[in-house]
Structure 1
Amino acid sequence: MKPKISIITIGVDDLERAFVFYKALFDIPDEQIGAGEDHVAFFLDDDFSFVLFPREQIAETAGKPEALEGTPGFVLSHRAEMAEEVDAILEQVLIAGGSIITPGTESEWGYSAYFEDTEGNIWELMAMPVAN
C-alpha cells in the first residue's frame, strides 16, 4: 500500500462545540462543509477532508465496547482506486501483523473496510462508488 491519507477523522465529545471551533479556525466557506446527523466534514481541498465524529461512534467502529481510555481518538482513511485494492491491502495488513476490524463492505459511500495496526491505531480503507 502506498499510503495516501485522504481523510482524517477525529473523535469529539460535543459535535456542535467542535464544529463551531473548527469552522472558526479553518475560516472556510459553507460550501466546503458537509454535515450529517453524526458528523461534520470540512473539504479542505480536492483530495483531503477533515471530519468530526462522535468519540463513542469511533469506539464502536473500532470494535471497542465504549470510549474508554485507550480508545482511538482518530481514524486515518486511505482512498483506494477500487474495491479489489481494498481487499489486497487487507491481506497485507494480516501478513504484517495487524487485524481486520471490518472486512470489505459495500455501502452507499462505496466499498470500505477497517483495520487496526499492531499498536491499536485505526485505519479505514475506501474505494468510492463508480459514477454512473
Structure 2
Amino acid sequence: MGTKRCLACADDFDPCPRVAAQNYCSRPECQRERRSLWQKDKRANDSDYRGNQLACQRRWRETHGDYWKKYREQHPDYEQRNRELQRGRNEAIKAAPVAKMDAIAPAGSLRSGRYRLRACGSNGVAKMDEWIVQIVVLTRA
C-alpha cells in the first residue's frame, strides 16, 4: 500500500494497513475535519441520528438551564461585545430596505411566482427563518 494524499491538509501520508479506505492523515486537525464532515452528512441524511442529537441537546438544556446566564456573569466582556455587535446588526437592518422597491404595488398587480416569506417581529425586524412559497394568482381584480 503506497502513500496517499490527505483530503484535509493535502499532505502525503502512509495509511494504516488495517484501514483500507483511510483518506485523512492522523493529525488532530485533519481528524477533526473528518469527524465534522461525517457528522454533517449524518445529520443531513439520517433522521434517527438527527432526532437523537436533538433529544440529547434538549436534555442538556433542561439540566443546564442557567448555563448562559452564568457564562454571561463570568464573562462581562463577552456580553458587552455581543450587545455592541447586536446594535450594529439592528442598525444595518434598519438601514437596509426590508422589501423590494415595488412592494407597495397597486391592488391586483401581484404576479404568480415564487416568493421569500419572512415573519417580522413587532419591531419590524425579520427573523432568520424564511420560507420559499409559491403564489398562484387565480383571478385579477
TM-score (norm 1): 0.21
Larger helix proportion, structure 1 or 2?
A: 2
TM-score (norm 2): 0.20
Bigger relative contact order, structure 1 or 2 (CA pairs below 8 A, ≥6 apart): 1
The higher radius of gyration belongs to 2
